[in-house]
Structure 1
Amino acid sequence: MQRDWDIFCKVIDNHGDLGVCWRLARQLAGLGERVRLWVDDASALAWMAPEGCAGVRVIDWSDPAAVSAAAAEPAPRVLIEAFGCDPAPELIARFAEASAADGTPRAWINLEYLSAEPYVERLHGLPSPVFREPGAGLTKRFFYPGFTPATGGLLREPDLARRRAAFDRAAWLARRQLPWNEGERLVSLFCYEPPALAALLAQLADEGTPTRLLVTPGRATAAVEACLSSAPWLERAPGQASALSISYLPHLDQPDFDHLLWACDLNFVRGEDSLVRALWAGAPLVWQIYAQDDDAHHVKLDAWLDWLEAPASMRRFHHAWNGFGNAALSLADIGEEWRLAVTQGRERLLAQDDLVTQLQHFVAGKS
């Protein structure tokens, strides 16, 4: 049964929330659902999804005229409040009125942030009755993405494994006009400002393995440039070569960001959406988690490492990259154990239903 979905997204920073919501909207539309994506700042879609997507209508949440016009349209069958973003009161009121007036089953879903912590399994699917206007009398339900069968799973397109298996690295690099030599290790860098970045660049430059670092635009590029502007290790003796070459990337749309991760031998990622895409890529990865003032991200990072059954070397590296613990960053830590942990984790995830499949079943059962 085809449904109308409203997805609400508030862009906090770094475009991660919008990235997740766009992938969700696009996958739903690909399955024949009708989707309206409400977002307060859709500017990043100009490079993230320049061609748009048939079946997805993007609405400017900050435009009063757009809100008023949509409030006059039929209410959606499913309302997704992404990451506790509080949709416009007029639209919640329309949703509640329609639910009371026509008796059509509707679902209000609070899509939560991704975590491997134990509370996710306890809270996934729980109801949250609404007692105050404009949604008084309705019930939200929590939907938690996660890494285990007792959670809502992860976003994964139906043809993802097939496309990953058919990917041609050399052809993609040539199409993107990225320089690459056989035998050169490819490393992607998508990060905030990791405290160990200077140490990473120094080790890459001094290693015996030639490495090309593919740096994403924005904060990652700024962080690398800041390191290079003051790094004493760049002052080499005459004739001394560096093993490190750096290429700065333009903004990539979502399919090409996936291709970047598929092309690389090691991926440094940040936030949630890119972590999931790096897991699907299957190469060794390093995750920079979003920092929180109370250091709650330390617990969150360790919970994910526990789920991954990460070897001790991978745990040490992650602690150093994220700025806690006493371990020093060492590229010598990265080896086959890392690849095995990631690929085995991916196999466990592939054995579970993806997030959209679970969400559709959830909505059908809870409507």
Structure 2
Amino acid sequence: MPPLKTRWDIFCTVVDNYGDIGVTWRLARQLVAEHGLAVRLWVDDLRAFERICPAIDVELEQQLQEGVEVRHWSAEWLSTEAADVVIAAFACQLPGAYMDAMAEREKPPLWMNLDYLSAEDWVIGCHGLPSVKYKTVQKFFFFPGFQPGTGGLLRESGLLERREQFQRDPDAQRKFLHDLGIEPTPGAQLISLFAYENAGLASWLDVLAADATPTHLLVPEGRILGDVARWLGVESLTTGALHVRQSLTVQVLPFVRQDQYDQLLWCCDFNAVRGEDSFVRAQWAGRPMLWHIYQQDEDIHLDKLDAFLALYTKALSPAAAEAMNGLWRAWSAGQPIGALWLAAREHWPELQKNAEQWCLEQALQADLAKALVQFYRNWL
């Protein structure tokens, strides 16, 4: 299929620090690298962006990063020509002047709302449907998802092959961990913890500390650090902090680039993640996981959680599925999970096999970037 000689604009309002920019940054890079598109990524918070892409200069209004033209989306909007394809990530509101520029084009652009990821059944029926219209410009819904009939998940070409090669290479893993200052205790299970504040954490840490199997808990900088510090009985935790309590070693990691975070997930035996971007990357790691879903008004996030669990645990035995459902639901409700963690551990080989099988099944679908490009071709 010949490459598209088109210009794409992706707009991102940073709402939750890293998830929004994490998704749009991955998408922008992939559209450039694998589809040869000219992409501008408009971001309203360059300091949040800098955490996952240290090369970003937060003082620049315009810069080129890995083939993507990064533009600072500030309150003082400067007039600019609209692109051929316009993506409003996560229902963000485009600048009024830019919407007028879209309508002024001789051929209106394809305007898509790249929505939040959900496994709910209604997503399939709404994916690709027309949304609102602004003058001559029609907007369309575009939903990422886990089932045929959705837009799929972000997955770069060759990602699973790179992951499998890395996981088969103990030396590569040791070097990666060493470069981050991590020297795991021999025989310790590695767990990564990236989560929102959670009152249920202490019960989990109590169980890990008392376990006969040592655990090395890797905690990237983030909102959960306050809860970890309280459990340790220290005032605060900063990057590089290392604390040992019984069988549990807790180590605080710096925020790392996206490719490094992928490798961190690949190294770990279990990954606790949050939001959307790290949630998807943990699935590509092929390891058992725990998702802290972003809390929404009226607990509508719990519907999303249950919808995903119904798919993710479908192939498990009834006992293993019950253990995973209990663990995930309690964690997202901020309830104690120590006993639930022990219940899940009883099914560990089955959970490991399920995580890998789920990853391979999701890889059978077209990835999100490819699905967006195909949607544009069909629209043409």
Q: TM-score, normalised by structure 1?
A: 0.90
Aligned to 1:184: 188
Aligned to 1:8: 11
Conserved in 2, the CA contact under 8 Å of 1:39 and 1:60?
A: yes
2:148 aligned with 1:149: yes
1:219 to 216, 223, 226: 223
Q: Deviations over 1:69-128 (max 9, x none)?
A: xx34x4211000011101111111111101xx2x3x621011000000011101000012
Residues of 2 paired with 1:228 and 1:10: CA distance?
A: 35
2:339 aligned with 1:331: no
Shift of 1:43: 0.9
Aligned to 1:363: 376
2:342 aligned with 1:342: no
Aligned to 1:233: none
Partner amino acid for 1:54? E
Residues of 2 paired with 1:272 and 1:355: CA distance?
A: 14
Q: How big is the alpha-carbon RMSD for the aligned residues of Structure 1 and Structure 2?
A: 2.0
2:47 to 31, 43, 47: 43
Residues of 2 paired with 1:319 and 1:352: CA distance?
A: 27
Which secondary structure does the structure 2 equivalent of 1:166 belong to? helix
Aligned to 2:292: 288
Aligned to 1:59: 71
Shift of 1:329: 3.0
- The 4+ residue runs of structure 1 with deviation greater than 6 A are 324-327
Conserved in 1, the CA contact under 8 Å of 2:191 and 2:269?
A: yes
2:277 aligned with 1:273: yes
Conserved in 1, the CA contact under 8 Å of 2:10 and 2:87?
A: yes
Aligned to 1:175: 179
Residues of 2 paired with 1:176 and 1:365: CA distance?
A: 45
Which secondary structure does the structure 2 equivalent of 1:155 belong to? coil
1:353 to 359, 363, 366: 366
Aligned to 2:262: 258
Q: TM-score, normalised by structure 2?
A: 0.87
Conserved in 1, the CA contact under 8 Å of 2:102 and 2:137?
A: no
Aligned to 2:139: 140
Q: Deviations over 1:166-213 (max 9, x none)?
A: 213112112222111331110000011222100010000000001000
Q: Deviations over 1:132-169 (max 9, x none)?
A: xxx31211111000001110000000020121122131
Residues of 2 paired with 1:269 and 1:75: CA distance?
A: 36
1:86 to 74, 86, 93: 93
Aligned to 2:239: none
Alpha-carbon spacing, 1:78–1:257, altered in 2? closer, same or farther (3 Å): same
The share of aligned pairs that are identical, in percent, is 43
Residues of 2 paired with 1:191 and 1:325: CA distance?
A: 14
Structure 1 residue runs without a partner (length 5+): 231-239
Partner amino acid for 2:82? A
Conserved in 1, the CA contact under 8 Å of 2:188 and 2:214?
A: yes
Residues of 2 paired with 1:121 and 1:301: CA distance?
A: 17
Structure 2 residue runs without a partner (length 5+): 57-64, 167-171, 235-243
Partner amino acid for 1:356? A
Residues of 1 paired with 2:160 and 2:42: CA distance?
A: 30
Residues of 1 paired with 2:191 and 2:286: CA distance?
A: 14
